[in-house]
Structure 1
Amino acid sequence: MQVPQDGEDLAGQPWYHGPLSRQKAEALLLQDGDFLVRAPGSRGGPPVISCRWRGLALHFQVFRVALRPRPGRPAALFQLEDEQFPSMPALVHSYVAGRRPLSQATGAVASRPVVRQGPLRRSFSEDALMDSPAQEEPLRARKWSSSQPADLEHTGQTGQDDPGAGATAMPVCTLPRMGSDPTLLKGPTPLGTVADSLRASDGQLHAKAPTKPLRTPSLALPEAPGCTPTYCELVPRVPSTHKSPPSQRCPEPESPWWEAEEEEEEDGCFIRPQAEVSFCPPAHASCLLGPQNRPLEPKALHTLRGLFLEHHSGSTALHLLLVDCQATGLLGVTKDQRSAMGVASGLELLTLPHGHRLRLELLERHEVLALAGALAVLGCAGPLEERAAALRGLVELALALRPGAAGDLPGLAAVMGALLMPQVSRLERTWRQLRRSHTDAALAFEQELKPLMRALDEGAGPCDPGDVALPHVAPAVRALEGEEPAGPLEESCERLLRTLHGARRAARDAPRFRQAAARRLRGFRPHPALREALTTGFVRRLLWGSRGAEAPRAERLEKFQRVLTVLSQRLEPDR
């Protein structure tokens, strides 16, 4: 179906349904790619694009930026994320014709419009959704007098008190306003107009020209503290003296904890550590597992498979970055935790003697995530293409976690640990199918991801806080826990020195890493179930069950390695 072009009216578009509730809109979206545009309700508000994607009904609010009326310029601009359009039809045409995702977080693509059935129902919010501004009520007409040269309200009217059939009264709102036009309003006026109105005899009594109205835009934002004041036609700012009183302001939505600014320390004096700190979230009722679960429950595995299929690799990478930042103690550190550990973040704590508990938690997190990633491939007992698709999904997730993207190096190390695990790397037929069906993913794994992971393990990979949100700390954690590096003695010593130097640099740059992580997660709203599925406690219970999760770490890892070996042999037996 052809999507209308820019100049057409919104009410005439077949995909615009007017005021429509969320429930009724979701009932009209039957297949992936179906979309419609609706008004959110009868009380006004910006337009909403409703779209079905990967089995879910998603709703995207379109921002409407009102502009000052000016000849040759639209009355408002419409945008979803970054790009602005002069009309709603232009926005819809750009996203549908170019098959562009409506948001980067979901990847939803609108491709098939749902045609409206029946006439369009008008609402009070209709004018806010149309591309043209609402018509204004003309000012009350006054008597015409030839001795009133300054009475400009009746420009274009005849000199009669009551216009006849041949004289048409032109309201003031139809006349284009110029910067030098005199003020036409009477009485007290809101911000952006002149309070002193022009009387009929002003043109004869005053020698100077009338005062010009203030050039106040339709949208005004308060000045940000500490920022250099700038002017923009689309998003201008006004002085702080014009701000509304606190009692009249709308309450701002509460920001999540990963977007909250860190509290400043009252003084810089040293605080003696009190105890070892854990950053694992407290145990609570799981929405995916029961209070007592067995290892690898089929129902939970089926739910997780559908959950990961609903989210593309970029969204999953941001979920993993959020959970990793909390598990490492980079974001969400409370004041009590800082007082207990004596430093401001977990990147500093893991280099100190009393960071033993945190180091063990990070080691276990890396291991259980790698085992879960390997299980995602080895648990595919179906056709060969299914296992190749699982490999491709892990490669795409690793690419989304690399430096310059999400920048979550611990998450990247866990995914690469799954791909490089012996039980996975020995699947020759599966890797051959990956190279045949998903050549780009196979080349990215061999030519980009494997060299990058090797450099990170040797302490020579990228670690700049601009590209990296969370540094690779697994080598330093292993070294501080007494694990000897493999390889010749001279190379091992050089690698150990680079690793310890990298850990000291990460502790020093912890504030910069915190800013980089918060910048990547700004505006991100995680899916609760997917976020829980990436926590260490959930993965541990999923792999070993509620009772087996309490067993010693070495014993648990040894048993699950044997399970993965059996699964790998069943998929591709040795010849």
Structure 2
Amino acid sequence: MQVPQDGEDFVGQPWYHGPLSRQKAEDLLQQDGDFLVRASKSRGGHPVISCRWRGSALHFEVLRVALRPRPGRPTALFQLEDERFPSLPALVRSYVIGQRPLSQATGAVASRPVPRQGLIRRSFSEDTLPDDPARTEPLRDRKRSDSQPAGLEHMWRSPEDPPGPGASTVPASGLPRTGSDPVILKTPVPLGSVADSLRASDGQLHAKAPTKPPRTPSLLLPDASGRPPTYCELVPRVLRVQGPPPGHNCPESEVPWWEAEEEKEEDRCFARPQAEVSFCLPDTPSCLLGSQNRPLEPEVLHTLRGLFLEHHPGSTALHLLLVDCQATGVLGVTKAQRGAMGVASGLELLTLPHGHRLRLELLERLETLALAGALAVLGCAGPLEERAAALRGLVELAVALRPGAVGDLPGLAAVMGALLMPQVSRLERTWRHLRRSHTEAALAFEQELKPLMRSLNEGAGPSDPGEVALPHVAPAARLLEGEELPGPLDESCERLLRTLHRARQTARDAPRFREAVARRLRGFRPNPELTEALTTGFLRRLLWGSRGAGAPWATRLEKFHRVLSVLSQRLEPDP
């Protein structure tokens, strides 16, 4: 059996709407359980399941895991949470027919597909290819089935040829397909009839005998002469990759800054740095916050919740790795910055005396991310299941960040800091519900993540650049800023030596860490809104407002811990 290629097995499904904006998708979802699948422009054309649940429109990104081409197996797998499927229709059927929640955090169940009206002009798989005139020209109607040479006059006529008598005038879509099966173009089925023909007992989510999209011919008929076509004149068509049309800028073709090659510097004498370097992004207009925002605006928190629920923990982990690498000075370091700090990487700078500002920025970022993670749990004023689902989401994100996966140890430390924060760890009923309803996540937290974090904080744990993309630098930063180590003197001395040795090793391996990060981020196309939501400047304004963000760090930290303590007591008061 021939395995269908990507994009060939779902563009004909009634629930697939092709490129569609989030707003237009939400307008089509009327009742709880309504769903559709669209190609998200902000996610580079990746499929997203849009579903209405409990009066809100939710969006869930479907991860596409590319496989090495081999005969008899698909070229990609599709994944929503844990399970992977060989095709997108298989994933949709499993979740809809089995009435499985699209995510454990929301409990949203997709039950009624919203059929599209008309044919899709472009498919998800096409959006990754440059426009080809030979591929996008309107296709002619074909006869039902004709194997005689005379029947070729109705097939794939050149645009200059006038249509013959009785030729169809129904517009056809330009979706590329391969194969030799004839295709019968039909008038689009009305919306009501498509919805009535959907039955769960059929074991599939499309109407009976759905219309196949037309196929691009694998053979091209030359039009050099006016003679009737014959078999000997059939020549293979070779698809040509052409650039964008004149005057059209294609942002996807540009190399992202994190994939750009590092500038090579000529050998020069060392010059003592004259100023400290900061890798904090300058304040720019936010697409999520107003120019003068208040702390913890409910509308922004609701938007952020939907944004994080839309992304798989693995995707969120890659976004966090990208932002952490920029904040640490591993990627995106300019030649002027390297000249100012005297070294090539922020991993080297933070071990030097003039890395004081960088160390403070990294420690503030760690604490700010931990506070935001704790707020995600303590801000759930709904049922107990909602808080337990938020805990599970943080645990899954920590698992995705651990060594051997994304390997972002600063991000892992921030998420674990939120889970281990006293205001969160005291929620006994919530943790008990997590152990009962999400046993696998609870076991991963207790048996894997907590021992790992304890080892990293003591200057031990994994540190190889092949297993780790970004090392845990908080212990060295605290030590170099004069923080005393807890515990008995003999244990603190051993921990001091381990931390200093790890810091020297990190500085020496800075180029290898940069290579490890570049490998993980190769081909990654982030969501701009999610990327902004993970920056230190955005989180600072979100938690303390545009006016309070300028207060001293110690004052801001103390006030927000009091806020979290009040929220924790409201959720589970002391006996």
The answer on 1:540 being equivalent to 2:540 is yes
Seen in structure 2, the aligned counterparts of structure 1 residues 426 and 60 have a Cα distance that, compared at 3 Å, is closer
| Cross-structure match for 2:150 | none
Matched, 1:357 2:380: no
Distance in 1 separating the partners of 2:573 and 2:119: 65
**2:472 is matched with which residue?**
472
Letter in 2 for 1:171: Y
Partner of 1:561: 561
Distance 1:359 1:407 in 2: 20
* Residue correspondences, number: 453
Aligned equivalent of 1:15: 13
Cα deviation for residue 57 of structure 1 reads 7.5
| Preserved CA contact (<8 Å) 2:59 2:306 | no
Residues 53, 404 of structure 1: alpha-carbon distance in 2 compared, 3 angstrom cutoff:
farther
Q: What are the superposed Cα offsets for residues 19-40 of structure 1, whole Å, 9 maximum, x if unpaired?
A: 9875799577876653489xx9
> What does 1:298-377 correspond to in 2, within 5 Å?
298-377=298-377
- Paired with 2:292 and 2:533, the residues of 1 have a C-alpha distance of 16
CA contact (8 A) 1:139 1:172 kept: no
The offset of 1:419, in angstroms, is 0.7
Once the two structures are TM-superposed, the CA of residue 515 in structure 1 deviates from its matched residue by 1.2
Contact 1:325 1:470 in 2 (8 A): yes
Residue in structure 2 matching 1:125, options 174, 180, 205: 174
Q: 1:172 aligns with which of 227, 232, 235?
A: 232
Query: In the alignment, is residue 518 of structure 1 matched against residue 567 of structure 2?
Result: no
1:498–1:386 CA distance, 2 compared to 1 (3 A):
same
Change (3 A) 1:477 1:110: same
Deviation at 1:139, TM superposition (A): 8.8
Shift of 1:110: 10
The structure number with the bigger radius of gyration is 1
Per the TM alignment, residue 338 of structure 1 is displaced from its structure 2 partner at its CA by: 0.5
* 1-structure distance, mates of 2:61, 2:317: 22
**C-alpha displacement of 1:13:** 8.5
Q: Does the 8 Å CA contact 1:392/1:434 hold for their aligned counterparts?
A: yes
SS in structure 2 at match of 1:320: helix
Q: In structure 2, do the counterparts of structure 1 residues 259 and 5 end up closer, same or farther at CA, with 3 Å as the change threshold?
A: closer
CA positional deviation for 1:346: 0.4
Query: Are residues 507 and 393 of structure 1, via their aligned partners in 2, closer, same or farther at CA, if it must alter by over 3 Å?
Result: same
3-state DSSP of counterpart to 1:258: helix
Q: Is the 8 A contact 2:404 2:468 kept in 1?
A: yes
Tell me by how many angstroms 1:380 deviates: 1.8
List aligned pairs for 1:403-552, cutoff 5 A: 403-552=403-552
Q: Secondary structure at the match of 1:523?
A: coil
**Residue 430 of structure 1 aligns to a residue in which SS?**
helix
Post-superposition CA distance 1:132-153 (Å, at most 9, x none): 734432798999xxxxxxxxxx
Deviation by residue 1:263-300 (Cα, 9 ceiling, x = unmatched): 11122532331210000000011222222222222222
Residues 62 and 78, structure 1, Cα contact 8 Å, conserved in 2: no
In the alignment, which residue of structure 1 is the partner of 2:36? 34
CA contact (8 A) 2:60 2:310 kept: no
Question: 1:411-436 CA distances to partner (integer Å, 9 max, x unpaired)?
Answer: 10011011111111111111111111
SS in 1 for 2:504: helix
State the match for 1:87 in structure 2. Answer: none
User: How high is the TM-score relative to the length of structure 2?
Assistant: 0.67
**Cα offset, 1:571, TM superposition:** 1.8
Note the alpha carbon deviations across 1:303-347, whole angstroms, 9 max, x for none. Answer: 222222222211211111111111100111111111100001100
**Contact persistence 1:409–1:470 (CA under 8 A):** yes
Q: Deviations over 1:111-147 (max 9, x none)?
A: 987667679955473555866734432798999xxxx
Alpha-carbon distance in structure 2 between the residues aligned to 1:554 and 1:116: 55
Q: Equivalent pairs: percent with the same residue?
A: 66
Q: Distance in 2 between matches of 1:29 and 1:460?
A: 51
What is the distance in 2 between the residues matched to 1:338 and 1:321?
A: 21
Q: Evaluate the alpha carbon distance shift between residue 503 and residue 130 of structure 1 in structure 2; reply closer, same or farther with a 3 A threshold.
A: farther
Alignment of 1:144-159 (within 5 A): none
How far, CA to CA, are the matches of 2:48 and 2:475 in structure 1?
46
Structure-1 separation of matches of 2:29 and 2:215: 25
Structure 2 contact 406–468 (Cα < 8 Å) conserved = yes
Distance 2:58 2:370 in 1: 29
Cα distance in 1 between the residues matched to 2:78 and 2:298: 42
Other structure's SS at 1:564 match? helix
Quote the offset at 1:542 in angstroms. Answer: 1.8
> 8 Å contact 1:15–1:36 — kept in the other structure?
no
Could you say if the C-alpha distance between residues 142 and 464 of structure 1 is closer, same or farther in structure 2, counting changes exceeding 3 Å? same
Q: Structure 1: where are the runs of 5+ without partners?
A: 41-46, 68-72, 84-89, 101-107, 144-161, 163-168, 175-184, 186-191, 193-216, 222-242
- Kept in 2, the 8 Å contact 1:378–1:571? The answer is yes
Q: In the aligned structure 2, how far is the partner of 1:559 from the partner of 1:535?
A: 21
Structure 2, gaps ≥5 residues long: 80-85, 97-107, 121-169, 178-212
C-alpha separation in 1, matches of 2:10 and 2:571 = 57
Give 1:34's aligned amino acid: L
The Cα shift of 1:448 comes to 0.5
- Checking the alignment, whether the CA contact within 8 Å between 1:33 and 1:112 is kept in structure 2 is yes
Higher RCO, Cα 8 Å, sep 6+: 2
- Kept in 2, the 8 Å contact 1:407–1:468? The answer is yes
* Residues 523 and 32 of structure 1, relative CA distance in 2, 3 Å threshold: farther
Give SS of 1:470's match.
coil
Evaluate the alpha carbon distance shift between residue 25 and residue 461 of structure 1 in structure 2; reply closer, same or farther with a 3 A threshold: same
Paired residue type of 1:136: L
Contact 2:458 2:499 in 1 (8 A): yes
Instruction: Give the structure 1 partner of residue 278 of structure 2.
Output: 278
Supply the distance in 2 between the matched residues of 1:443 and 1:331 (Cα, whole angstroms).
35
Residues 525-554 of structure 1, C-alpha deviations (whole Å, 9 max, x = no match)? 222222111111121222222222222222
Bigger shift: residues 440-449 or 305-314 = 305-314
Over 3 Å counting, the alpha-carbon distance change for 1:20 and 1:374 in structure 2 is closer
1:472 and 1:434 mapped to 2: Cα distance? 28
